[in-house]
Amino acid sequence: MKNFLLALIVVVITVFVIAGWRGRRSERPPLQIFPDMKAQPKYKTQAETIFFADGRADRIPVAGAIPVEVDPRDGYRLTGQIRDRWGDGFPIPVTEALMERGRQRYGISCSPCHGLTGSGDGVVTEYALKGVVANFNTDRLRKMADGQIVWTIANGKGQMQGYPNISADDRWAIVAWVRALQLSQGASPADVSEARRLEATRP
């Protein structure tokens, strides 16, 4: 019993001594009994290295690289590119539901700058960027490949920031709506089906 009490006293004193040093400042690294992989042989983000000729630890993906979870056959839908050129045409069905989705996404993400008709006269231009925002109804943008517009939505261009958080299918939905806006600006009543014209005249 006596030996047990002595051992207990030693343990208690040791615990208090160790606990008393916690929180104290020291220039030496702390003693790590269980390091839990805190110290690893790795390079931190944007660190320097002598291993590569350019001195950069982080490496740029090779041209054409895609995430491992992405099907390589799906590259056009994701990037808007077919090999080394911009693609034209939609990799997903252009349905009424897709057009409605495009109208919604365009209204949220694009119309503040580009305007509801795509003329580059959104509310932002009343305070800044007047004359800088792209007008979708110009010949240049009417002729721009669908894939290039998809890529621009994701990555941005000029004064426009990219929107990588917009999903790939939503980017194509926005492009579909932009194409509809372009058609609408030069359209006449004769371009609308008779059923749609009758629907528009109903109260």
Number of alpha helices (DSSP H) and beta strands (DSSP E) in the chain: 8, 4
CATH number assigned to the domain with residue range 72-191, chosen from the 4 options 1.10.8.80, 1.10.3720.10, 3.40.50.300, 1.10.760.10: 1.10.760.10
User: In a 3-state reduction of DSSP, which class is residue 86?
Assistant: strand
DSSP strands (E only) in the chain: 81-82, 85-86, 156-157, 160-161
Highest mean pLDDT among 18-32, 50-64, 68-82, 100-114: 100-114
| Contact by Cβ (8 Å): 129, 116 | no
Q: Rounded distance, CA 57 to CA 47, Å? A: 6
Task: List the chain domain ranges.
Answer: 72-191
Which run of H or of E encompasses 114? Answer: helix 111-114
pLDDT tens track for 137-181 = 999 999 999 999 999 999 999 889 999 999 999 999 999 999 999
pLDDT digits (tens, 9 = 90+) for 98-136: 999 999 999 999 999 999 999 999 998 888 777 789 999
